[in-house]
Amino acid sequence: MAGMTGSLIHERCETTPPHGDVIRLDVRRPAQGEPRSAVLVAHGFKGFKDWGFFPWLSERLAQDGHLVVSFNFSLNGTGPELLEFTDLDAFGRNTLSRELDDLRWMVDRMLAGEWSDGRAPESVGLLGHSRGGGTSVITAAEHQGVSALVTWAAVATFHRWSEQQVADWMSQEVTWISNARTGQLMPLYRTLWEDLRDNRARLDVLAAATRVDVPWLVVHGSEDSTVPVAEARQLHEAGSASSLRVVDGSGHTFEAVHPPQAPTPGLIAAAEASARHFQRFLRGGR
């Protein structure tokens, strides 16, 4: 499905990695000219590409001339309906390693020109929010095809589970979390914990941060109660190629909500800082 939004072309697409589960995505690009640069936008835990600020942010970046692809991780729990968590079993089966594999697949397909008529972009940037920020840090450390990185409210560690949740996994193989927006009780299966335990070296976000050698902008709200701004400072201290932009007075989503409303001052500040970063470091690649 394709459509026009002002000076942009917007298409909804699908891609299927070797694991066989579908990744649904949105492609936005300028209606005129061929973008030389591209940006992949990754959502966080309990997130999806159509949540809140993601469509607005993707349009904002595409207006600068980038090819912008936002996507749902393959096991994020949304299905073809896109706006609701209709596959809670998939949500429960998701793991951090699966999300890393998905993001690597997306970078590879972007570099292969899959969404740009076979013409590979000269440079690719990543923008990840919250848990997607941590995943983006590791991907930028591992994948030589990434030219610039932006993280919003990124986690500095994936170890965020309580003793009770770990006890649930050990005793009954599942723990349950509440989705405050929808009221759903959402399962997390023990495979999530086992993946984090068995792949602790690869899933160490701060260790990966020390290996990020591309320009990296760390964006965080000073009043984030979900991921404290102290984690942004940890990432910035670990990442020698990083710069830090703290948005005063803003929280985890920069006051954006779902369904979306008008952009907030905090969201605009985060987006404009990110746009400047990509404009500076994606043109012409590394």
Beta-strand ranges (E) seen in 195-241 are 216-221
Task: Note whether 82 and 24 are within 8 A (CB).
Answer: yes
pLDDT for res 1? 43
Max Cα distance, the chain (Å)? 57
Whether the per-residue pLDDT at 15 is higher than 50: the answer is yes
Closest residue by Cα to residue 219 from 236, 240, 239, 241 = 236
Whether the per-residue pLDDT at 159 is higher than 70: the answer is yes
Rounded distance between C-alpha atoms, residue 78 and residue 41, angstroms:
17
Beta-strand ranges (E) seen in the chain are 2-5, 8-15, 23-30, 37-42, 67-71, 123-129, 148-152, 174-178, 185-189, 216-221, 242-247
185-189 and 37-42: which strand pairing?
unpaired
Rounded distance between C-alpha atoms, residue 127 and residue 216, angstroms:
10
Task: Note whether 140 and 212 are within 8 A (CB).
Answer: yes
Question: Which amino acid, 163?
Answer: E
Residue 286's pLDDT band, with cuts at 50, 70 and 90, is very low
pLDDT for res 4? 45
Whether the per-residue pLDDT at 165 is higher than 60: the answer is yes
Q: Mean of the pLDDT values across residues 24-45?
A: 96
Whether the per-residue pLDDT at 231 is higher than 60: the answer is yes
Rounded distance between C-alpha atoms, residue 24 and residue 32, angstroms:
25
258 or 1, which is more confident: 258
Q: Which two tokens stand for residue 277?
A: 């970063």
Rounded distance between C-alpha atoms, residue 164 and residue 273, angstroms:
39
Q: Mean of the pLDDT values across residues 34-44?
A: 97
3-state secondary structure of 181: coil
Tens-digit pLDDT profile for residues 111-156: 999 999 889 999 999 999 999 999 999 999 999 999 999 999 999 9
180 or 40, which is more confident: 40
End-to-end CA distance of the chain: 33
Task: Note whether 152 and 127 are within 8 A (CB).
Answer: yes
